[in-house]
Amino acid sequence: MEVLIYLVPMALLLGLSGLAAFLWSLKNGQYDDVDGAAIRVLRDDNLKP
């Protein structure tokens, strides 16, 4: 049972760090263009006329 003294704060720290990373990515615009990558795959810029 004394291992919970270490596991609970570690789990809280990992959860909060994951939440902070998600909020940071939201703030920096990582999810602004979710359809752009799918359209860029279909576009063929290497064709010569």
Q: Which residues contact 25 (CB under 8 A, 6 or more apart)?
A: 31
| pLDDT at res. 7 | 97
| DSSP type of residue 5 | H
| pLDDT at res. 18 | 98
| pLDDT at res. 47 | 62
CB 31 within 8 A of CB 25: yes
Residue 14 pLDDT exceeds 70: yes
Mind listing the pLDDT tens digit for each residue in 25-48?
999 988 888 788 788 778 777 666
pTM above 0.75?
no
